[in-house]
Structure 1
Amino acid sequence: MVFVDLIGIDKTASLLLALGGSQIQVGRHRVYKNSSVVKEIGEEAALEIGEYFCGGVFKVPLGKKFLSRYLSAKGMKQQEIARTLHIDVATVARHQKPFQAGKAGGPSSQKRREYGR
């Protein structure tokens, strides 16, 4: 995730938790001290984002999978993560499984095979 490289993992998590899914405006060379972005991650981090994206308006991703893994690493239980992110606890469990290379298809592919579709 680009944000982690720019501003670090903790500030990225704060940004996604507070503003994920919304549009933000960040200047390339200056930021407004009253902006929600600056209040959440600080002026320096906001400038880093603005410089990287050449300023402008853009949408902050939801980052549910990232946040699920981040909060789990911070010691939060699956039930708490599900409530915080407004997702099902089964989704949280799925997010926490390591990526398995070479395995084709997911649950939906398996269901299609079972039902002959």
Structure 2
Amino acid sequence: GIFKKNNCVNMNECYGNGDDQNSENRELEMPTYQKLQEIYQNVDYDFENYIQGIPEYINKLFEIFQELEDLEEYEKIHLVYSIIRKIIFSNEQKLIVFLMKEENFENCLGVFEF
């Protein structure tokens, strides 16, 4: 799965009903070009437990977006847009502050251009 703890395959296997007390073991699997559809389908999960890994995760999404833009892969570009949009709509203040930082804002606007 996109969100993993140790060697889990999916969220239920890793966390059961979400009441796991060992949230410090949670980590985000970095996004890849091949997993964009899976990421889009799974991005609705609670980001609060993943805040520390999110900056690298979002930066990787921006890198993928730039590669896709160069390749004119518009369907996949739209998936990156949809993922970033879901992250913003998660309404996690730390994530929004991160995206609005000067070094990220231009990338964020570029994604929303599509």
Normalised by the length of structure 2, the TM-score is 0.26
Normalised by the length of structure 1, the TM-score is 0.26
Instruction: Decide which structure has greater helix share.
Output: 2
Of structures 1 and 2, the larger Rg is shown by: 1
